[in-house]
Homo-oligomer: A and B are copies of this chain.
C-alpha cells in the first residue's frame, strides 16, 4: 500500500508531461520501492541457505551440480517465474579424488603443507611426485632458467599486488601463473607445478581455480599452496635445496549431461525482447561457493522474486539464466549463445563478483549509450549503489557481447572477495544478509529499468 502511495505521489508531482523515453521519477520511485521492499521482506539470505544446503558442492558434472539444477528449477517456479525450463548441455567432469598431499622431503622431512589441486590437474603417480623445488616470481624467469627447470617442481610465487585498490585488478595481475603455469613449466620439462594462492591474505588456506595444459607438452600435476606455505617454501629455497613430495589423485571422467536453468518474467508489451540476468550455478568443490557464485544466483533469483512480488512487469521480458560450467568450461554460456544468441537481447547483466555491498554496475557500452545507461543507473545513487563504470560483463555473457548485446556486471565492494574465492572459506557465514539483499535490489532495479525503457 505504502508503495502505491509513493508512486502515485511521484506521478502527481510530475503531472502528465512525462516523455515515454525519459521517465526519471518513476525510475526513482521504483528504485525506492525496490529498496524498501527488499529490506523489509527480502529473502535473499534464506534462498542462499536453501542453495548451499541442497548443494554445497556444485562442480560441473558432480551429483551436487545435478541437485543444484533441480533446486534451481524449483526455486524459479516458487519465485513465480514463467517458462521455467532446463537447457541441456554436456559438461566436463573433473574430480579431485581422495588424496591431496604436499610433504617436505629436504632440507628436513616435514608437512603436510596446505595445498589443493588446481581444477583440471592430472594426478601424480600413487607414490607421489618427488622432486626438487624451483621458485619463480614471474613466468618470464622460466626462459632464463631454461633446462634448470627440467624434472623439478616449479613454484610460481608472485603475490597479488596489495597496493592495487581494485582486488580484481590484482587478481588479473597474478592469475596467469595459475592458468598458464603448468603449460609454461611443462614446456621447459618441469615435472610439476605449485602456485601461490590467489588471495591478498597471508594465511594457511589454499585457493583452487582453473588452469589449462598446452596439448603440445606433457600434462603435469598442478596445485595451489596457501600463501603461508608459499612464503615458507620460498624462504627455504633461498637458503638451499628443497625437495618436495606432491600426491594428487585427480581424474577426468567422461562428459556428463547437465543443464542451464532458465525462467522468465514475460514482457507486457515486447515479450520477444530480452533483458538477461544471470550467474553461474556451478562452483568449485571446496567451501560452498557461497560468494562464487551462490551470491550471483541468489541476486538473480531474488531480483526476479521482488519484481514479481512488487507487480513490476516491464515492457520487455526479463530472462533469468543460471548458467552451468562457468568455472571449468563455459559450456553453459556457449550453449545459451548458440541456441538463444539470435534472439533480440536488449541487455545482459551478470553477477559473479560476490555478495558484498553493491556500488553499482560496470558496462561495456560506449559514448552516448554509456551516458544513457549512467542516467538509468543513477536512480540508485541515493542508496549508494548508483555508479556505472567502464568494464566488461562476466564470462557467461561474453558470447552475447560478441554479438553486440550491451553487457553489464554487478559491481560489489571488492576488498573481501579474495579472502574467500575458490577456497574452504567461501561459505554462507562469509555472506552478510543485508549486503546480499542490497545486491539483489540493485539488480532488480537495473533489469526492470532496461526492460522498461
Contact = CB atoms under 8 A, between A and B. Distances in A.
A233 interface: no
With most chain B CB atoms within 10 A of its CB, the pick from A384, A432, A434 is: A434
A438 interface: yes
From A35, A164, A359, A432, residue with most partner B Cβ within 10 Å: A432
Contact of A165 (B39, B164, B416): B39
A162 B201 contact: no
A151 to B, nearest CB: 37
Nearest to A434: B415
Contact of A40 (B163, B416, B434): B163
Contact of A200 (B35, B167, B357, B434): B434
A165 B415 contact: no
A71 interface: no
Interface in A373-427: 383-384, 413, 415-416, 419
A433 interface: yes
A172 to B, nearest CB: 16
How many monomers of this chain does the complex have?
A: 2
A435 interface: yes
A358 to B, nearest CB: 11
A201 B429 CA distance: 12
A36 interface: yes
Interface string A343-366: 000000000000001010000000
Contact of A163 (B36, B201, B383, B413): B36
Contacts of A413: 357, 413
A353 to B, nearest CB: 15
A408 B413 CA distance: 24
A333 B359 CA distance: 36
Contacts of A163: 36, 39-40
Contact of A435 (B383, B415, B432): B415
A143 B415 CA distance: 49
A438 B200 CA distance: 14
A162 B384 contact: no
Nearest to A416: B432
A165 B434 CA distance: 9
Contacts of A39: 162-165
A165 B432 contact: no
Nearest to A35: B165
Contacts of A359: 384
Nearest to A42: B162
Contacts of A165: 35, 39, 383
Nearest to A384: B359
Contacts of A433: 200-201
B40 A162 contact: yes
A362 to B, nearest CB: 14
Contacts of A434: 167, 200, 415-416
A3 to B, nearest CB: 12
Nearest to A37: B163
Interface string A151-173: 00000000000111101000000
A33 to B, nearest CB: 12
Nearest to A36: B163
B40 A357 contact: no
Nearest to A39: B163
Contacts of A35: 165
Contacts of A383: 165
26 contacts: A35-B165, A36-B163, A39-B162, A39-B163, A39-B164, A39-B165, A40-B162, A40-B163, A165-B383, A167-B434, A200-B433, A200-B434, A201-B433, A357-B357, A357-B413, A357-B415, A359-B384, A413-B413, A415-B432, A415-B434, A415-B435, A415-B438, A416-B432, A416-B434, A416-B435, A419-B432
Given A36-B163, A39-B164, A359-B384, 17 more contacts: A39-B162, A39-B163, A39-B165, A40-B162, A165-B383, A167-B434, A357-B413, A357-B415, A413-B413, A415-B432, A415-B434, A415-B435, A415-B438, A416-B432, A416-B434, A416-B435, A419-B432
